[in-house]
Amino acid sequence: MIINKVRKVNQEEEKTKKNTVASDKMIGKWVKCEKCKEIIYKEELHQNLSVCPYCGKHFRLSSRRRILQIADENTFQEIAGDILTKDTLNFDGYLKKVEALKQKTNLKEAVTCGICKIEGEKAVLVVMDGNFLMGSMGSAVGERITIAIETAIQKKLPLVIFCVSGGARMQEGMISLMQMAKTSSAIKKLHDEGLLYISVLTDPTTGGVTASFASLADIILAEPDALIGFAGPRVIEQTIKQQLPEGFQKSEFLLEHGFIDKIVERKDIKQMISKLIRYHK
């Protein structure tokens, strides 16, 4: 009996491990850095917080790895995890696609929310995941984030949101657009209560997420070289029919134009967040 239980635990551990690796979309033991073209041993990359040890490129991160990097060990307690995808438009193939992604990523939706400690500081932590329909915001993502914001209000906790998103989720039509109003209204309440909200913009943060809660924080941080904007670069190029300047819509561009507070490297982000929380106590 006990042996069976141990075996089961081990199997589950193996499964989690497998999915963590799978969600970073890497095949084999090696991965090539798109920026400097160096071949990196995968294990080395992960030990370096998924940052290229040669050129410093920040690889995209699954929500699971992000939570491991930000929350103190064993402190993350998920909230709103039972809020699931709705298919209001009866969009052909949508739920099937979601189901396949659930299997592939071991996630239930494109955002994971919870309460945790960050270097000992209690906070509500919201982490989006680009592996799940590009982190797009449909009804479930909007609902989960709103519940997280309301939890922060109720428990008087600071709120930290890691953003990565292609924007509002097309497959749910106007219901998705309205999630921008829902989440932003909740953020308004949080501000009225005098609570701290930090958003961290990671590659890429665009569309309806940029045009709602991502841009409404007291302090907006960004990872280096992340694409951040409202309209996608391709749409802009097609509209104005000219090539976009080098570095357009990157973190450094936004910093220069006054739309983010600070660019923070991944290795420093946890400490920066906890420090900011302490400054607001």
Q: Are 206 and 167 contacting, i.e. CB atoms less than 8 angstroms apart? A: yes
**Within 193-260, where are the H helices?**
207-210, 233-240, 251-256
Q: What is the DSSP string of 69-121?
A: HHSPTT--EEESTT-----TT--TTHHHHHHHHHHHHS-SSSEEEEEEEETTE
Residue 244 binding another protein, by CB under 8 A: yes
What residue type is assigned to position 151 of the chain?
A: T
Strand, helix or coil for residue 278: helix
Chosen residue from 2, 96, 103, 245 binding another protein by CB under 8 A: 245
Q: Can you tell me which of 177, 255, 263, 272 binds another protein, judged by CB under 8 A?
A: 177
- Spell out where the chain has E strands: 30-32, 39-41, 77-79, 111-118, 121-128, 159-165, 197-205, 219-222, 262-263
* 235 lines the binding site for another protein (CB under 8 A): yes
Residue 178 binds another protein, judged by CB under 8 A: yes
127 beta partners: 112, 162
Give the residue with the Cβ less far from another protein, 36 or 235.
235
Options 216, 255, 263, 272; binder of another protein; rule CB under 8 A: 216
CB of 156 to another protein, least distance (A): 19
DSSP label at 250?
A: B
CA distance 222 to 32: 24
Span near another protein by CB under 8 A; candidates 29-37, 53-61, 120-128, 203-211: 203-211
Between 23 and 165, CB nearer to another protein = 165
Residue 182 interacts with another protein (CB under 8 A): yes or no? yes
| DSSP, res 72 | P
Residue 222 pairs in a beta bridge with 201, 263
Among 10, 36, 181, 271, binds another protein (CB under 8 A): 181
Q: Does 272 sit near another protein (CB under 8 A)?
A: no
Cβ 242 to another protein, closest distance in Å? 8
Site for another protein in 72-131 (CB under 8 A): 86, 88-89, 91-92
User: Where does this chain bind another protein (CB under 8 A)?
Assistant: 86, 88-89, 91-92, 139-140, 142-143, 146, 168, 170-171, 173-182, 184-189, 192, 207-208, 210-216, 229-232, 235-236, 239-240, 244-245, 248-249, 257-259
